[in-house]
Amino acid sequence: MSETELDYEQARDELAAVVAKLEAGGLSLEDSLALWERGETLARICEQHLAGARERIETALAAVERDTPE
């Protein structure tokens, strides 16, 4: 699955698995670096999804405030 196809939950779950592997230790430096880089990518994907959700919520709240009579 490509990075652009990952939804928030998939990226979050994979990120949690990456963190667990790094915390467990016992990996070579090269494997650790590769996992770290994957984790950075997954964190960025999560941030993008959260930013999109935040924008949608702010838009919806603005619409409600605009449509609510005072």
Please enumerate in sequence order all residues whose Cβ is within 8 A of that of 10, keeping only pairs 6 or more positions apart, or say none: 1
Residue-range domains of the chain with CATH: 3-67 (1.10.287.1040)
Q: How many CA atoms lie within 13 A of 12 on its CB side?
A: 8
pLDDT (tens digit per residue) in 12-57: 999 999 999 999 999 999 999 999 999 999 999 999 999 999 999 9
Residue 65: per-residue pLDDT: 84
Sign of the CA dihedral running 44, 46, 52, 58: negative
pTM over 0.85: no
Query: What is the Cα–Cα distance from 45 to 64, expressed in whole angstroms?
Result: 29
